Amino acid sequence: MKKIEIEFTINGKKRRLSVKPNDLLINIIRNDLFLTGSKYGCGIGECGACTVLLNGEPVLSCLTLAATVDGKEITTIEGLAIGDELHPMQKAFLKNGAVQCGFCTPGMILTATALLKENPNSTEDEIRDYMRGNLCRCTGYIQIVKAIKSCENNLETS
Amino acid sequence: MEKQQFDFIGKSFDIKNIGKATGKEIYTCDVNIPGQLYAVVLRSPFPHAEIKKIDYSQAEKMGAICISGDDVPDILYNERIVSIPEKTYRDRTVLPKDKVRHVGEAVAACAAETEEEAFMALKKIKVEWGKKWRPLINLDKAMDPDALQIYDHVYLGEERVDINNNIACERNVDVGDIEEGFKEADEIVERTFSTQRVYHMQMETKSAVCVPEADGGITVWTTSQGIHNVRILLGNIFNIPLSKVNVKRTTLGGSFGSSIQMNSITPICVALALKAKRSVKLVTTREEDIYDHSKYPLKTILKIGAKKDGTLTAAHCRVWVEIGGHNIQAYPYLGCVAGWFASLYKWKNLKYEGTAVYTNKVPSCAMQGYGNPQINFAVESLIDILAEKLDMDPIEIRLKNYVGKGDEFWGQGPTVRSIIRSCGVEEMLIEGSKLAGWDKRTLPSKKKGDIRRGIGVARGFHTSGTGGPNPGEVIDYSGATIKINEDGSVDVLTALMDHGGGTWDAGAKVVAEVLKVPYSKVSIYSGVDTRTTVFDVNTHATRGVYCGCGAIKYVAEKVKEILLNYAATLFKDLPENLELTCNEELGQAVICPRGIPQNYMTLGEIAEHAHITSWGTIAHTATLRQKNCPPCFITHFVEVEVNTKTGEIKVPRAVIMGDSGTIINPDLWEGQIIGAFSRGLGFSLLEETKYDLNNGKLECNGMITDYKIPTTIDMPKVGSITVRSAHTYEPTGPFGAKGMGEAALSSVGSAVAIAIYNAIGIRFYELPITPEKVLKALKEKEGR
């Protein structure tokens, strides 16, 4: 299969890769770039564990062809903190007990940052609706929603 | 209750999950070995069929390494070795040798340089199938004397057991005389209940990585609740000395019981690696995972008798469980169901009969509660019915009959029992009823409108571990190595697993509390394997805090003893005259002669002294068996809204009371209770793995879009679940602690069903209570 040259920015760094037309973004991120924070939970867009930000928008990396990210900017969970300073959403998840097994956490945190960027004053119903595609089996979601709510108006300054 | 001041116990430290919030936590699927091959598994499309021949020569021509039943050892094993060998049924090999017994059962596997190449090779494997049979899906059909036998015989320990009518095993318990008991009763009620198969849906699918070592040994990473049992099993199956099998402890992406046993893919990955003489990585798909494990369903016929004043006189409980195509732990399961049943109320006279039946479905295994939510649904529903018949308040009848302090609790079936020494049941029922506004509850006949509200109460529990004064049928001990580093920081090496509920966090706090070392200086989270740790049986049976951290506390106290003895030589004093405290300003543990704080030495100074004088390392290693199995109690007050037009049920509010003794991790304790509540709502209202009766496949086809679990929008809003703790202290637990994990689920389904009855006046005896069932029942009630 003929490979395609792509260039993109991931967590602030420029990368150039040769990918096959059928390579999925999740596999490139996890297996080629060794950023294993993005998780494989279903492979078919059911669970949200593989969520990454593509030009700031949350996308399911298991349903995104790697070839389509040429020229774009990707943020994974590894790129959210600035140096040793955690992103406010990461802090909020830790502070509110919103992390248990942690497998859904990267996708949850990235989706939540996108939500509050879109709508910094989201109501609880809006948060619940926006997050419904990210499955969690441990927490029962309440502490996650609480963590996101606690970040409102907090993100703009970050 | 003993009053104790703690420095670390009962506090929350945000730092504990930092790896998970930053993407740095390593789960099995994140482990990569240079030069590894990628493995995939060929699975049976048939529910019950003969394998005549498997030809993988074409796949091997493509460069893949392949295995089938012919390549794996002739060792018949049980993947769960928590029970003692003579109570463990063995019916499987790594890959089946002659027939498959459920759709999705692995029949062959191959490994290649890339996952893509492995899948291409897998397509070239030819399976020549022999006879194919219609699946036995339902319990009654499977037990029919004319039904096809799924097994001819299996082994119980070393003893051959012939299988008749597909009955895998049976278990009966008698206490007192139920005939006499029912004679004494003024009121007798009897109903049949059933609970369904539920998929664990842990977020991380099962994975394994195996490195064949130069000395003939293997190093294995795998999703597991107990790495030492995986080590022992792999050594036995592949005939490798246990010293050469090293299983790494990695973080689990949820489990809920699905990895108590060694996962079916773990030995497949090992067999491929041994054949290839290369490292192999195997990550299963979600579809494969759904076809790998399930909660045990339960059918129960329950009959109970009581006097007019509500005093119970007898109970007869008859249960059946269909276990799928392999018997992982049906025998201990039947014992545990007996124990949960016997320990809920003082029946005085009881009879229990349990039967486990093979079917051509995914093998059932433990899932949070291990039969407890299933039998609780029957018992609590029937107690509610009895209370109504006797015109008693549901709380009053429970207070009158519950098994509490001073009574005997069956922590793991009939052979593991201990006396209850801490119990918050009364406090939880009374305080919970106040918080829930129980006195404002109205009868179903008083409800009006399309949306009807109801409230229900149910209570439950789970054991904390499987220890008793005498060892029973279950192996239960834990251990640790604890060492003080040269700078006064502390390493805790333990095989104890954490499912995400905070077992490691609790372990670190227990060590911090004993040695007065700041939490941030205790390392427990990574870097251990079976070679560097002593045995720990498994994180199951809600034993993590009580047993696992109980053992850690025991070892930490030994280290403290060694430390004080050494410090005494430096202070030229006696160890008992020294005091160990945490100095927050210094961020260090300090030791001083009692009452003379200014003459202190820090732990770092003492450890460094031991180091530079070549005295040695202040450290200790030991294992410990807890000799009790204290119940952790739970009480659920649940409010539901039933839409009588659509049959939909919403849960706007709940009050949940928990009794864990001392709470070590408050935020995760509450998180476990709320998390279990969401899984309980799935169990009560949504989830079931249904099967096609003809082809034995799952109706959801392995998709989680067609197997619904609760999402953010299905849960009550923030602040609508009130969680409170009882004020208890468990004298046998570490710093007064018991467990919580599984207890939190046990009475959710019961409380929801009882609340639905209170809303619409209809009893449901079968879970899940879906909108279709609600509408059908409403129509029948109205005679439509």
SS3 content of chain B, % helix, strand, coil (to 5): 30, 25, 40
Amino acid found at B699? E
Supply the mean pLDDT for chain B.
Answer: 97
Q: Which residue among A79, A103, A125 closes a domain?
A: A79
A74 and A117 in a single domain? The answer is no
Contact A103 B26 (CB under 8 A): no
pLDDT tens digit sequence for B76-88: 999 999 999 999 9
Assign residue A125 the CATH number of its domain: 1.10.150.120
Residue A128 counted as domain residue: yes
CA atoms within 13 Å, Cβ hemisphere of B136: 26
Decide if A125 is inside a domain. Answer: yes
> Which of B32, B704, B715 is facing A46, going by the closest CB pair?
B704
A93 and A46 share a domain?
Answer: no
In percent, the amount of chain B with pLDDT more than 70 equals 99
| One domain for residues A51 and A103 | no
pLDDT in tens, B624-634: 999 999 999 99
Select from B469, B441, B472, B444 the least CA-distant residue to B457: B441
d(CA B693, CA B47): 10
CA dist B592 and A92 (Å) reads 39
Its pTM surpasses 0.80: yes
CA distance B768 to chain A (A): 18
Q: Which residues of A touch B679 (CB under 8 A)?
A: 137, 140
Strand partners, A7: A16
Q: Locate tokens 């919030």: which residue?
A: B21
Over 70: is that where the pLDDT of B2 sits?
Answer: no
Chain B residues within an 8 Å CB radius of A80: 22
Provide the terminal-to-terminal Cα distance of chain B, rounded to the nearest Å.
57
Contacts of A49 in chain B (CB under 8 A): 203
Distance of residue B407 Cα from the nearest chain A Cα, in angstroms: 33
pLDDT tens digits for range B352-383:
999 999 999 999 999 999 999 999 999 999 99
Which SS3 state, helix, strand or coil, does residue B477 take? Answer: coil
Query: pLDDT tens digits for B298-308?
Result: 999 999 999 99
A52 and A30 share a domain? Answer: yes
**Is the peptide bond prior to B768 cis by the omega test (within 30 degrees of 0)?**
yes
pLDDT of residue A158: 42
Q: Residue B3 above 70 pLDDT?
A: no
Binary contact (A42, B721; C-beta < 8 A): no
Q: Tell whether A56 and A110 lie within a shared domain.
A: no
Contact B718 A146 (CB under 8 A): yes
Average pLDDT over residues B383-400: 98
* CB within 8 Å: A102 and B251: yes
pLDDT in tens, B597-623: 999 999 999 999 999 999 999 999 999
Residues of B in contact with A128 (CB under 8 A): 712-713, 715, 717
* A70, A115: one domain: no
Secondary structure of residue B49 in the 3-state scheme: strand
Query: What is each CA distance from B99 to B33, B49, B83, B356, in whole angstroms?
Result: 34, 6, 27, 21
Other CB atoms within a 10 A radius of the CB of residue A121 amount to 8
Model pLDDT, residue B442: 96
Cβ pair A34:B32 closer than 8 A: yes
- Let me know whether A73 and A105 are in one domain: no
Whether residue A102 sits in one domain with residue A39: no
Judge whether A100 lies within some domain.
Answer: yes
Question: Given A27, A61, A79, which residue is the final one in a domain?
Answer: A79
Beta bridge partners of B245: B218
Instruction: Indicate whether A55 and A102 sit together in one domain.
Output: no
pLDDT of residue B676: 98
pLDDT category at A155 given cuts 50, 70, 90 is low
Q: Does some domain include residue A156?
A: no
Q: Is residue A44 part of a domain?
A: yes
B362 in Cβ contact with B324 (< 8 Å): yes
CATH at residue A18: 3.10.20.30
User: Of B22, B656, B706, which to mutate for an interface test with A (greatest number of A Cβ within 10 Å)?
Assistant: B22
* CA closest to A133 among chain B residues: B711
Contact at CB, B23 and A78, closer than 8 angstroms: yes
User: What is the residue range of A70's domain?
Assistant: 4-79
Instruction: State yes or no: pLDDT of B202 exceeds 50.
Output: yes
Q: What's the mean pLDDT in B137-152?
A: 97
Query: Residue B329 above 60 pLDDT?
Result: yes
DSSP state of B446: G
Decide if pLDDT at B534 tops 90. yes
Question: Which domains are seen in chain B, by residue range?
Answer: 14-25+477-624 (3.30.365.10), 31-133+203-254+259-290 (3.90.1170.50), 294-469+628-781 (3.30.365.10)
CA distance B697 to B711: 25
Cβ of A106 within 8 Å of Cβ of B203? The answer is no
| Number of domains within chain A | 2
Helix/strand/coil for B181: helix
Contact by Cβ (8 Å): B470, B222 = no
Among A93, A105, A141, the residue with its CB nearest the CB of B715 is: A141
State the pLDDT at residue B782: 87
Does A158 fall in a domain? Answer: no
Side-chain-side CA neighbours of B495 within 13 Å: the count stands at 27
- Nearest-CA neighbor of B137 among B169, B167, B102? B102
Question: Strand B294-295 to strand B364-365: parallel, antiparallel, or no bridges (unpaired)?
Answer: parallel
Same domain? For A135 and A70 the reply is no
Q: Is A117 part of a structural domain of the chain?
A: yes
Residue corresponding to tokens 């900017």: A73
Q: Based on the fold, state whether residues A67 and A96 are members of the same structural domain.
A: no
Domain boundary among A79, A104, A128: A79
- What's residue A157's pLDDT? 43
Residue B1 has pLDDT above 70, yes or no: no
Residue B721 CB neighbours (<10 A):
21
**Are A66 and A100 found together in one domain?**
no
In a domain, A157, yes or no: no
**pLDDT tens sequence across B218-263:** 999 999 999 999 999 999 999 999 999 999 999 999 999 999 999 9
